[in-house]
Amino acid sequence: MADVANKNESDSISKSDKKERRKSRDEERKEEKQKKRKHSISSSSSKSDYSSDASYEKDRRKALKSHVQKVDNSKSKKKKRRSSSSSSSSNSSDDDRKTSRKNDDRRRRSRSNDSNRRRRSRSRSYERRRNEYYPKQNYTSYYSTGAASKINDDKSRSASPEPVKKTEPKKDVLLSKTGGAYIPPAKLRMMQAEITDKSSEAYQRISWEALKKSIHGFINKINVDNIGIVTRELLKENIVRGRGLLCRSIIQAQAASPTFTHVYAALAAIINSKFPNIGELLLRRLVVTFRRGFRRNDKTICVTASKFIAHLVNQRVAHEILALEILTLLVETPTDDSVEVAIAFLKECGQKLTEVSGKGVHAIFEMLKNILHEGKLEKRVQYMIEVIFQIRKDGFKDHVPIIEQLELVDEDDQFTHLIMLEEATDTQDILNVFKLDPNFEANEEKYKALSKELLGSDNESSDSDDGSGSDSDSDDSSDSEEEKKQTEIIDNTETNLVALRRTIYLTIHSSLDFEECAHKLMKMELKPGQEGELCHMFLDCCAEQRTYEKFYGLLAQRFCNINKIYTEKFEEIFTHIYDTTHRLDTNRLRNVAKFFAHLFVSDSIGWNALECIKLNEDDTTSSSRVFIKILFQELAEFMGIKKLNDRLQDKTLSEYFAGIFPKENPRDTRFSINFFTSIGLGGLTDELRDHLKKISKKK
C-alpha cells in the first residue's frame, strides 16, 4: 500500500511539474512575440495594420461571425433548393425539366462562388497571421521619398557617358547587288535622263536594269507567229553585253513552258547565226544543267534540258555527236527514268539523227532492244520502248524536226558547235551580274553600228535607245519625228479575229436550225475580208462533230446562194483541204468530204474545183485517196451513178476532170480504173476502159 501511495505522489508531482514547465514556455513565447513586435514598430516608418492585440481580436471575431453567418446562409439555401427540387420533380413535365436544368446550373455556379469566397477568407486570415509573426518592412516610403531615384542619379553621374550610335547613310537602291526593289520603266528613264555622266556606275547600272527587263519581256512574248518581229526588236538591244542575261532568260522560259521549246530553239538558231559565242554559251549551260540533273536523279530537269538540246540539234546549232553521247549515257546503265528520258529525247530529234548518223541511231535502238528482252524494267517503260520502235518504223512522221514557220536560217549561215558532254564546264555565270565597263560609251556605239548592219536599215537606230542606255537627246528627237508621221496601228495579236470566231461559234451552237443561224450571222454585218473566216468556221464546226450533220451543209449552201464571194472562198478552201488531208484524222476527213459533197451536189460551188485532184500513184497519198473515196461515194449516193456519170462526161467540164480520169499515161489510167472499181463505182470508168482498149489495139 505504501508503494502505491508513493507512486501516486510521484505522479501528482510530475503532473504539477509539467504544468509549470508549460506555463514557463508560454511566458517565454509571449515575451519573444512582444520583442518582435517592438522591433517591427521601430524598424518600419509606417504603422502596422494591427497595433494591439485587442484590435486584432476584435477583427478576428468579426471575421469569424461573418464566416459563420455565410455558412449558415449557404446551408439554408441548399435546404430550400433541395426541397424545391424534390417538389418540382414530383410534378415534372417537359417544361419543368428545362427549368430544373437551369436551376441546377445556377446552383453549381453558386456553389463555386461559395467555395471561392471561402478560399479568399482563408487566405486573408493566413496573411494576417503571417504578418503578425513575420512583419514586412514598408518599402513604399523608401520609393515615395525619392531615395532610390537619388541613388540612381548618383550612379548615372558616376558612370561614363554612353557612346552615340552612328547612323549609317541609306544605300542607293540601284547600287545593291540584286538591283534592289522594283522600279517602273518610266522612272528608270527619268533617272537615266537626270544623270549626265554616262561613264558613271549609276548610269551603267540603270541601263543594265533596262536591258535586263527588255530582254526578259521579249523572251516571254515570243511565239511562232511573231518570232521574226521579236527577233528584230531583240537585236536592237545590246545582247553582246547582256548575253548572260539572254541565255538565262531563254533557259528559264523553256523550263517554265516546254511546249514552246521549238520556238526558243529557233530563236537561239537565229542569234547563233549572228553571234556564235552566244549560241555556244547557251549550249554549254544546257549541257551543264543536264549533267547536274542526271547526277541528282532529277527527271524533270533532265527532260527539259535534253528536249532543248534535241531541238538545237534539229536547228544545227549543236552537233549530232552530243546527242549520241547523251543517248549512250542514258541507255548504258538503264533505269526506268533514264530510259524514259532517252525515249523522249529520241522522239524530238530521232528523224534528224537518222538522216545524219543512221549507224549511231541503229546502235542506240539495238541497246533498247536488249533492254526490252531483259525485262528488268517496269511494264510502262517496256511499252514506251515498243512505241518508240513503232515510231521509228513509221519514219517519225508525227515528230517533224522543224516546222515550216521556224525554218528561218539557211544551212550555209548556221554555225554548228561541237561540244562534248564532259567538256562543257565554263558556264560564265559572272555574265549574269552587273559589272562596271570603263569603255561603256565606245562599246555602245560599236553595237549600234553592228545592229544597223544586221537589221539592214539605218533609220531604226533611234528605237534601240530605250533598252540599251542611249542618249536622252536622241530619244526626244526620235519622239518628235514619230509624232510627225501618221502611224497606223496594226493588231498583230489578232484579238479582233479571235473575238469574231468566238461569236460565230456561239451563234452556230445556239441556233435551232440553219435558217435561224443564217439570219443571225447576216445581222453581224461582217467587214470586207472576213468572209473567209466565216467559211472556215463552218468547216471547223462540221469537222468537230462525231458524225456528219446536214445542218452545216445547208448553212454553207444558204450563204453561197446569197453571195458569190462565199462560193469562191469555199472553192479555195477545197483545194487547200485536199493538199493538207494528211493533217486530218479519219473522223474529220469523213465529215469534211461529206460537207463538200453536199456543196457539189447542190451546185453551191463549181465542179471546176475538182481540177486539183490528180488520181495516180505518185500524186496521191493514203489520206487523199480516202478523201476521194468518201467524196465520190457521197456524190453517187445523192445523185445516183447515172446522173453522176453524165455530169463527169460533160464536155464543158471534161478539162477539170482530166486529173481524175487520166488518158495520157496508160499506167495512170489503169490506176484510176482500179481505184473506182475497188470503191464500188466502176460504172464511172466505162469511157476510160474503152480508151485503154483502143490504146492496147494500136500497140
Q: Which of 400, 432, 464 is the last residue of a domain?
A: 432
CA–CA distance, 400 with 402 (Å, rounded to integer): 6
The size of the chain, in residues, is 699
> What is the model's pLDDT at position 452?
85
Axis-axis angle for helices 243-256, 299-314 (nearest 10): 120
Tell me the average pLDDT across 298-304: 92
- 604 three-class SS: coil
In a domain, 351, yes or no: yes
pLDDT digits (tens, 9 = 90+) for 353-408: 998 888 889 999 999 999 999 888 899 999 999 999 999 988 888 888 898 888 88
In a domain, 623, yes or no: yes
- 302 three-class SS: helix
| Residue 318 sits in the same domain as residue 425 | yes
Residue 14: pLDDT band with limits 50, 70, 90: low
Most confident of the ranges 28-37, 193-202, 420-429:
420-429
| Residue 130 sits in the same domain as residue 257 | no
Residue pair 229/492 in contact (Cβ under 8 Å)? The answer is yes
Q: Which domain holds residue 625?
A: 524-698
In a domain, 53, yes or no: no
Q: Is the pLDDT of residue 473 over 80?
A: no
> What is the model's pLDDT at position 367?
92
Q: Is the pLDDT of residue 443 over 90?
A: no
| Residue 541 sits in the same domain as residue 681 | yes
Q: Which of 377, 401, 432 is the last residue of a domain?
A: 432
Q: The domain that contains 569 carries what CATH number?
A: 1.25.40
Q: Is the pLDDT of residue 518 over 50?
A: yes
Tell me the average pLDDT across 307-329: 92
In a domain, 621, yes or no: yes
| Residue 422 sits in the same domain as residue 559 | no
In a domain, 505, yes or no: no
Cell readout for 485 is: 508621221
> What is the model's pLDDT at position 4?
45
Q: Is the pLDDT of residue 24 over 50?
A: yes
CA–CA distance, 443 with 208 (Å, rounded to integer): 14
> What is the model's pLDDT at position 50?
44
Residue 459: pLDDT band with limits 50, 70, 90: very low
pLDDT digits (tens, 9 = 90+) for 74-92: 767 666 666 655 554 445 4
Q: Is the pLDDT of residue 557 over 80?
A: yes
> What is the model's pLDDT at position 418?
86
Tell me the average pLDDT across 14-38: 72
Rounded to whole angstroms, what are the CA distances from 337 to 37, 331, 377, 383? 91, 10, 10, 14
| Residue 544 sits in the same domain as residue 428 | no
Q: The domain that contains 326 carries what CATH number?
A: 1.25.40.180
Q: Which of 432, 448, 475 is the last residue of a domain?
A: 432
| Residue 546 sits in the same domain as residue 661 | yes
CA–CA distance, 661 with 668 (Å, rounded to integer): 8
Domain count, the chain: 3
Q: Is the pLDDT of residue 237 over 80?
A: yes
| Residue 428 sits in the same domain as residue 531 | no
Q: Please report, rounded to a whole number, the percentage of residues in the chain having pLDDT higher than 70.
A: 74
In a domain, 147, yes or no: no
In a domain, 477, yes or no: no
Rounded to whole angstroms, what are the CA distances from 180 to 171, 183, 243, 550, 561? 10, 9, 22, 64, 66
> What is the model's pLDDT at position 509?
87
Please tell me the pTM assigned to this model. Answer: 0.44
DSSP states along 269-297: HHHHHH-HHHHHHHHHHHHHHHHHHHHTT
Residue 684: pLDDT band with limits 50, 70, 90: confident
Residue 455: pLDDT band with limits 50, 70, 90: confident
Residue pair 631/597 in contact (Cβ under 8 Å)? The answer is yes
pLDDT digits (tens, 9 = 90+) for 395-430: 888 888 898 888 888 877 888 888 888 887 788 888
In a domain, 657, yes or no: yes
| Residue 125 sits in the same domain as residue 266 | no
